[in-house]
Amino acid sequence: MKARLAASAALALGIALGGSGCAMLTYQATTEKYDASDGVSADVGALDVRNVLVVSDDGEEGNLVLSVTNTSTDDETLSLQFVDQGDTFEIDVDGGETVSLGTAEEEPLLIENLDAEVGGLVSVYLQAGSAEGVEIQVPVLDGRLPEYEDLVP
């Protein structure tokens, strides 16, 4: 009788370990970082730049939409340069704060000589302090979607 009980316990333990152990070997999509929205993201030094996109109806003038979070306690400045257009912008972000630009509630950051196709990408170089800069490919969207119709310049 004790042998059957021990065998049953061993079998139950084996099933429990086998069923839970496969998570150690299987790819877990929830651990993968990705951009859940239409914009792109990048980390530049202590600055987390999120959901960067340009909204434009004609590809000539655009509204740059983004959020920047400063993860340090020091004030930082983010420099953005549109590689092909040459336009440069600077955004000051206080330590521990988040700045959002281009949204319906915030002042738009207008790019007047965008010269890009709607549905295409523009190259933007990001730099913060002495940290190594990064170039990102930013999507250019129009106001067809309801969430962007108020963001068209």
Mean pLDDT of 64-89: 93
The C-alpha atoms of residue 56 and residue 114 are separated, in whole angstroms, by 9
The encoded tokens of residue 99 equal 């700045």
> Is pLDDT at 23 greater than 70 in this prediction?
no
Q: 68: exposed, middle or buried (C-beta count within 10 Å: 0-12, 13-18, 19+)?
A: buried
Mean pLDDT of 102-106: 87
- Average pLDDT over all residues of the chain: 88
Rounded to the nearest 10°, the torsion over CA 34, 36, 41, 46 is -80
Mean pLDDT of 92-105: 94
The C-alpha atoms of residue 8 and residue 28 are separated, in whole angstroms, by 32
Residue 9 — pLDDT band, cuts 50, 70, 90? confident
